[in-house]
Structure 1
Amino acid sequence: MADETSIKMTAEEAWNILLNKYNIVQEVEQNGIFYITSSQINDYKEARLMAKWDTSESLPPSLKSNKLNILPDSRSSYVIGDFILYEEIPELTERVEQMTQVQLGEYETIDVNNITSEANAINVLVLSGILDDFLETSDTAATFNGRMGTGCFNFEVNTHRNVKRKINVNNAQCEIDGGFENSTEVVILEAKNVLHKDFHVRQLYYPYRLWRNKVSKPIRLVFSVYSNMIYRLFEYRFNKLEDYSSIELIRTKNYSLQDMHISLEDLMDIRRNTVVTKSDNISETVIPFIQADSVNRLISLLENMESNPMTAEQIIELMDFVGRQYNYYVSAGIYLGIFERELENKTTKLTEIGVSLCRMTYKERQLKLVSLMVEHRIFADFFDYVIDNNGELPSKQQVCDKMRELNVCKSESTMERRACSVLSWLKWIFNLPHLAE
């Protein structure tokens, strides 16, 4: 069992020890897979903290650099290989169909501006009729959820070596966020309230194999993301029962419980009524310039931090941040004035502006974020540039030139990375009208 020193060890440190102790990289290269028990992992850190990586971003660098992934094959053992286990989540872009707006009945215990947990998000998904609309039915009822054993089954999975590996599962554990049934089918739902770029296919495949042996009705698999007051639903299927890698996206649809309409004129009103007050000159400010590309991920972090100051470790676990991402996103929130660090207890919390954002409607929140951005000269100037050039974004070189002019940073390599963030934020701003129209 892990001692006190092991408990303080990071997952990356523990995996480095395990990889070396058991020659795992070499074993996978020679034999394709390596079996490891929970007790072997527990010698250095709890297995439950070492083997559950729900997004590829969360993988420890030692596993990622060796293209290694891990799957449970029982309640007390795992199999390691160069498996391809993750499915990318399509981006929400201006090409998305007009969102369906759904009205929720009057419930005193539900605040649509403050849905902060996956359980709450599932409740609203059902009560609002969104799930029935997506399934094109009218009688879906919640019937099961929680942790359960998978039973016994085997499957094949693709690898980075382009060789399919066979995995035998003997009553591993799986957790189901939502299980439903209607007159024609059984539905398995995996729900998230934090935005990531991909998800672990195991979260759908293991529950699917469990219930495929239990029911005679067809099974439908739904993956739901609730973030920034938008429900995004994806339906998947496995084209071959015993092929983990045969996952296929069938359809997707987006929903809102609020008015999503944001016009270009709304954005221009914000620009006209916002005074540029913030300097990004490194000789005049101690706040780092932005180096976080995804505004939507920043909003996810905001939503999960309301009335809940979080340590670095808690933020990293919630968001599956790796490397310097934690600092990038916290600093981006500080840049906008929505986060602040509490040095005494080493946490990050929302400012008054951040708290107010959490309580705004969708439209109010997006426009307030735009306002906070264009308080900075670089975003104000490039906002005007895009308007003057019929929606054309500046080039990366133009952004770098502006950053030099404003003395944003000295390092050319850092400047290029930060220019990518500026372009991502500008794209987010000018995608807002497209999403609503």
Structure 2
Amino acid sequence: MGLTLALGGDAILTRRISECGSPDAQAIFDLFRRSDLGIVNCEMLLHDFDAPELYPSAEAGWTYMRAPRFVAEELASIGIRLVGTANNHFLDYAVGGLFSTHKALAAAGIEFAGSGHDLAQARAPAFYDTPDHRVSLVSMTTSATRASRAAPPHDGIPGRPGINPLGWHYCGDAETVAQAVAIATKFGSWVAKVSDREWQINPPGLHHTVQRYFVTDMPGAGMILDEDDEAANLRSIRTARQNSDVVIAHIHTHEWDQESGSAAVPPRFLPPFARRAIDAGADIVLSQGSHAPLRGIEIYKGKPIFYDPGDLFAMSGLVTRFPAEFYTRHDVHRLDDALPAEGVAARQKYFKEFMVNPVGGYQNGRGRLGVVPVVKLEGRKAVRIELHPFTHVHTTVSQFGMPMRVDGDTAQQILTHLSDLSRPFGSRISIENSIGQIDLT
């Protein structure tokens, strides 16, 4: 039997969408409704500021993401039944926000992967059963605060709730690493040489806030994945392979390729890992979170790797309440009378006026747009991919951050841009009737 999956990037959703009157928004929602299963990244904490142990973390994923609990029901109403929760925001409101979101998703009939009571739960696959298939999801993130990482139990001590990390470390040739060590020394950091090829740098007294630098044969500077995180996540994918018909590996990542300086190009460590995920048993790799807004598509051994289809919903500008750190982070210090709009405006100023790397900021000068990949499978094999373009229209508050179907010249421009980004991966996208297509038969 065939299976159709509709995929989305970040669901940054703050309000009800089920009664949206826009036919263009409903056309995008129908892509999920008509599919056997919709899958996205849940970028919001779902709570009403009243859950136990709920308080703002000292360090968040920048914006403190929060939406009412009913948002889970709204996602379910358009056919989203499986979500990743490993991302840089999932501990914005500490463990209270995490557990409140888990409860809201479960109550709405949405399965989730990527976070849990401890590291084993966070790394475990989630499963969703359609009438003819069992689909699994392993969710991980390269972008997260250290405090948000889940931990395993040990020596009779409980594990720590949090997200499933796919961590990374800095690397470079000997000269580049020596320069980093020299600068850290000048600024008064702790510096330790723990082997011929590894240095560790941390603030004085904070011996767990460690940055690791590895000397490699690669010229210049870059990042390498943490070997333990990589091996554990590949093991989770192999577990999912044994227990499901179709396996999806989800990777939430904000990092970019430092050589190009463009957020539209994934970091050098990501494509090799995505291919290893397929070798381990994944049928689809869904990477997202860059806000670039798009990254390319690769077909590896006949299986698709989406490096970022773009944010499905983009409503962070409509979050209604923020803790003190959000304002002071953006130099808004009148905490007694500061409005959320002032904090959001200061955040946007940071992007538009101060950002020097990546070039053009996250959005790479292209604004809010994306595609919904609809993947049609026969058994485990993807046979056809349709790419449905959309934009986010900000003309009214009721439509702010909502994905709107586009056609004609706008669709052609989006799909041509995606095709250009996919060309380095050897992928060819044809365009017909304002829809991108990749034939894998």
TM-score w.r.t. structure 1 length? 0.23
Name the structure with the higher strand share: 2
Name the structure with the higher helix share: 1
Q: Which has the larger radius of gyration?
A: 1
TM-score w.r.t. structure 2 length? 0.23
